[in-house]
Structure 1
Amino acid sequence: MSILANYREKEEMLRKLKEEMSRMQENPELKKELSFKEEVQAVLDKHQRNVADLATIFGLNQSAATAKSGRGNRRTRKLKVYVNPHTQETIETRGGNHKELKEWKAAHGSEVVESWVTEERE
C-alpha cells in the first residue's frame, strides 16, 4: 500500500471516529455516566481517598476494581497453540514474547498469525 493511500485510509478512519465521538457526546446516557463519575471523583478527592479505598469499603474484589501489578495476583494466561499453515510448525506459548511467534507476526501480520490459533487451554 502506498504512503498516500495509507494516509487517506487513516484520514477516513479519523473522520469516522470523530463522527462517532460527536454522536456519543450527544447521548444522554453517556452524559449521565460522566456526571456520576465526576461526582464520585469529587467525593473521593474531598476525603482524600482513591478507587481502591472505595472498593475496599464496599467489599468489592480488589483485582476487579483496580489492576495491581505483581506476580502473586496475576492469573495464568491461557496456553495458545499456533500452527503455521505454510510450514506446519507448531508453537505453544502463554505469552506474546516467543521469538518464533514474533518472527511469524513480523512476516505475516499479527491478525493473520492470530487466526492460526488451533487450541486454547488453561
Structure 2
Amino acid sequence: MSKLAEFRRAERELQKQMALLEQLQADASLQREMEFEDKLKVLMADYGMDLAKVVAILNPQPVELEPVVPAAVKQRRPRQVKVYVQPVTGKRIETKGANHAQLKVRIPR
C-alpha cells in the first residue's frame, strides 16, 4: 500500500472518529454521566476512599459460608445374633435382642 493511500485511509477513519466524538459530546446522558463521575471523584477525595472501596460498598459480594455438615453420627455396631434354647421344648430361638416373644413365654409349674 502506498503512503498516499494509507494517509487517505487514516484520514477517513479520523473523520469518522471525529463525527462520533461530536455526536457523543452532544448526548445529554453522557453529560450526566460525566457530571456524576466528577462529583463522585470529589466525594471520594473528601472521604479518602478509593474506587475499589466504593465498588465494594455499592456492590457487596455475598459472603459464602461453608456448608454446615452435621457431625458424623456414630453408627452403632450391628447386634450379634444370639441363640437361645427353650428349656422345656428344646426349641432353638435365634434373635438379635432379648425382647423376643418366644423368650417371654412363661413356663407353667
TM-score normalised per structure 2: 0.52
- Between the two structures, name the one with larger relative contact order (CA 8 Å, sep ≥ 6): 1
Partner of 1:42: 42
2: CA distance, partners of 1:55 / 1:29: 22
Are the structure 2 counterparts of residues 2 and 54 from structure 1 closer, same or farther at C-alpha, using a change threshold of 3 Å? same
The structure with more helix, counted as a fraction of residues: 1
Deviations 1:29-80 (A, max 9, x none): 100111111111110011111110112223435xxxxxxxxxxxxxxxxxxx
User: What is the root-mean-square deviation of aligned Cα atoms in Å?
Assistant: 1.3
2: CA distance, partners of 1:27 / 1:58: 26
Q: How many residues align?
A: 61
Q: How does 1:86-97 map to 2 (within 5 A)?
A: none
Q: How does 1:1-122 map to 2 (within 5 A)?
A: 1-61=1-61
Matched to 1:53, the amino acid is K
Are the structure 2 counterparts of residues 27 and 3 from structure 1 closer, same or farther at C-alpha, using a change threshold of 3 Å? same
Structure 2's unaligned 5+ residue stretches are: 62-109
The structure with more strand, counted as a fraction of residues: 1
Deviations 1:74-96 (A, max 9, x none): xxxxxxxxxxxxxxxxxxxxxxx
Structure 1's unaligned 5+ residue stretches are: 62-122
1: CA distance, partners of 2:29 / 2:58: 24
1: CA distance, partners of 2:35 / 2:17: 23
Are the structure 2 counterparts of residues 4 and 40 from structure 1 closer, same or farther at C-alpha, using a change threshold of 3 Å? same
TM-score normalised per structure 1: 0.47
